[in-house]
């Protein structure tokens, strides 16, 4: 059996991490290794390991026990070579030890304990994660996309109760409706009581005489549904959309978890997005850059006329205000930033060559020749 990794290492956090840091690390890793998203052979095992670590570190009592005794405190194996090996600070520490070993504390005496476990009533299902790819323009302007998936939903006939009718639900005779049962364990220190989930009703506190014919008593139906997802204008690559109630099914009549859809935006052949701004390179001839001109520039909204000033240099960036991406929160749209790329002709007609030679002759004056001015800097 592979050796278990430290829970803090599993989540990639320090031992001083607070609740928010633990939750953030868990959500990030759960999204990465969820079997519905990650198809790697070891993804499921890692996902289970992540959930196990989070279950312990997100519970203050379990985390305290784990910090003191490691895995021994989690699985009931005694650490430290016997009772005297624990460096306990008093009665409360002993109570934590017995809580981790026997499922509860010592309470006010060796003969009784306080109840620390609650019945397994309705439990919300786990969240579900998936990815979808959209085109660049769809991310800029938004769209509605239909996604088909399999979902376990509450049975519409019984409302998730699993019973044929309301009169077919009765109180569990084993736990008398509490959902829990108490067992006793005799040790060298006395008799200890532990409280656990009722094995007959699984913590619901109820029994069903006649089951629902539609769901067979499970309370859920496995349906293939089409979900309409509205992708807002301005969504960025990597952002997530939440679809409520389309995650994994709950237990004991609990609600489904939520579905989180991570958006991947396909790149555009020319436009590059930088936040709300659009970046675009504009080719301009040397003559137009020197004398200035007016050009119709492509934007995500269509062509826009832009003036290129005389004497524009290579790499100059000109701004088209409001021609960027919409603000997903409803604010002002971004801009389009056009970077000028001066193109030098490699093939010239005879007339063009004559004109360039005339211009070259005009620039023989060192005041107009940039290279001559450059050389003077080294003299």
* pLDDT tens column, 258-295: 999 999 999 999 999 999 999 999 999 999 999 999 99
CA 275/CA 238 separation, integer angstroms: 12
The pair of structure tokens assigned to 308 is 């290129």
Is the pLDDT at 36 greater than 50? The verdict is: yes
Quote the percentage of the chain above a pLDDT of 90. 42
Predicted confidence at residue 39, as pLDDT, reads 84
pLDDT tens per residue across span 313-354: 999 999 999 999 999 988 899 999 999 999 988 888 999 888
Walk me through the domains of the chain, giving residue ranges and CATH numbers: 277-344 (2.60.260.20), 350-379 (no CATH)
Q: Is the pTM of this model over 0.85?
A: no
Angle between helices 43-57 and 19-33 (to 10 degrees): 170
Say if CB 297 and CB 282 are below 8 A apart: yes
pLDDT tens per residue across span 157-215: 888 888 888 888 898 888 888 888 887 777 655 667 777 888 888 777 888 889 899 88
Say if CB 146 and CB 229 are below 8 A apart: yes
Predicted confidence at residue 188, as pLDDT, reads 59
Predicted confidence at residue 190, as pLDDT, reads 65
pLDDT tens per residue across span 111-170: 333 333 444 567 888 999 999 999 999 999 999 999 999 998 888 888 888 888 888 889
Give, in degrees to the nearest 5, the angle at Cα 125 between 121 and 127.
155
pLDDT band at residue 81 under the 50/70/90 scheme: very low
Predicted confidence at residue 227, as pLDDT, reads 92
């Amino acid at each position: 059996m592979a050796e278990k990794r430290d829970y803090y290492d599993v989540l990639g956090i320090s031992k001083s991490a607070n609740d928010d840091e633990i939750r953030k690390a868990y959500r990030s890793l759960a999204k990465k290794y969820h079997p519905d998203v990650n198809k790697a052979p070891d993804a499921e095992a890692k996902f289970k390991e992540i959930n196990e670590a989070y279950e312990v570190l997100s519970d203050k009592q379990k985390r305290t026990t784990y910090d003191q005794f490691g895995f021994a405190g989690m699985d009931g194996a005694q650490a430290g070579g016997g009772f005297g090996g624990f460096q306990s600070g008093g009665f409360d520490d002993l109570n934590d030890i017995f809580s981790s070993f026997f499922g509860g504390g010592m309470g006010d005496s060796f003969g009784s304990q306080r109840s620390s476990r609650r019945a397994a009533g309705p439990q919300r299902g786990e969240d579900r994660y998936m990815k979808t790819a959209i085109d660049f323009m769809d991310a800029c302007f938004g769209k509605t996309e239909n996604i088909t998936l399999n979902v376990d939903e509450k049975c519409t006939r019984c409302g998730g109760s699993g019973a044929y009718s309301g009169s077919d639900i009765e109180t569990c005779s084993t736990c008398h409706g509490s959902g829990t049962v108490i067992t006793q364990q005799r040790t060298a220190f006395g008799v200890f009581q532990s409280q656990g989930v009722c094995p007959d009703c699984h913590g619901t506190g109820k029994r069903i005489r006649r089951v629902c014919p539609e769901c067979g008593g499970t309370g859920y139906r496995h349906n293939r549904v089409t979900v309409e997802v509205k992708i807002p204008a301005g969504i960025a690559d990597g952002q997530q959309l939440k679809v409520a109630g389309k995650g994994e099914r709950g237990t004991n009549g609990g609600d489904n978890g939520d579905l989180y859809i991570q958006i991947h935006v396909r790149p555009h052949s020319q436009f590059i997005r930088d936040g709300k701004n659009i970046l675009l390179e504009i080719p301009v001839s040397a003559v137009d850059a020197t004398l200035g001109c007016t050009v119709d520039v492509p934007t995500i909204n269509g062509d826009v006329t832009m003036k290129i000033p005389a004497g524009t240099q290579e790499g100059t960036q000109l701004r088209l205000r409001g021609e960027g991406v919409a603000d997903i929160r409803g604010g002002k749209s971004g801009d389009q930033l056009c970077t000028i790329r001066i193109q030098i002709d490699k093939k010239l007609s005879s007339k063009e060559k004559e004109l360039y030679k005339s211009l070259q002759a005009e620039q023989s004056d060192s005041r107009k020749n940039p290279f001559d001015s450059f050389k003077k800097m080294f003299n």
